[in-house]
Amino acid sequence: MAIFAATDYSVTVAGTDFSDHVSSVELPVSVAELDTTNFGSSGWTEAIGGLKSATVSINFHQDFASAQVDSVLWSNLGSSVTIVLVPTSGSVSTTNPSFTFSAVVTDVKPIAATVGDLAVQSISWPVTGAITRATA
């Protein structure tokens, strides 16, 4: 896969494929910067990487049907769920890696609407533990 338009992401939350209910997804990952600057640094700051952290943000099209957005998210409130993100719905490969991790369902928004707009549920949950990047 080369440069591509994000039109076919695969998004699975708690074992349910929500690809047809997701309009955007983001997985920013960061490493804490630990300052190691000392008098021998010749006037420059120095740093090393510390703990890694991530947050997943997903915008769902709301659906109150059984085993859909509302029921899956609501039933997992306060729990840790497995999330799998893949750039396309094709097979996982070196050019289409999967990212698998657990996130704590810290909030849900079953009602978040403006008159006449699409009913959505936008979440942002902390990732707990490591993220696995697989290429096969």
Residue 81 counted as domain residue: yes
3-state secondary structure of 71: helix
Residue 5 counted as domain residue: no
Residue 75 counted as domain residue: yes
Residue 84 counted as domain residue: yes
- Rounded distance, CA 88 to CA 8, Å? 5
Residue 79 counted as domain residue: yes
Residue 38 counted as domain residue: no
pTM score: 0.92
Assign residue 80 the CATH number of its domain.
Answer: 2.40.30
Residue 73 counted as domain residue: yes
Amino acid 1: pLDDT:
63
Residue 4 counted as domain residue: no
Amino acid 2: pLDDT:
80
Amino acid 78: pLDDT:
98
- Rounded distance, CA 15 to CA 63, Å? 16
Determine the structural domain holding residue 93 and report its residue range. Answer: 10-33+45-134
| Domains in the chain, number | 1
Per-residue pLDDT 10s for the chain (136 aa) are 688 899 999 999 999 999 999 999 999 999 999 999 999 999 999 999 999 999 999 999 999 999 999 999 999 999 999 999 999 999 999 999 999 999 999 999 999 889 999 999 999 999 999 999 999 9
Distances (CA, A) of 14 to 4, 50, 68, 117: 27, 29, 11, 27
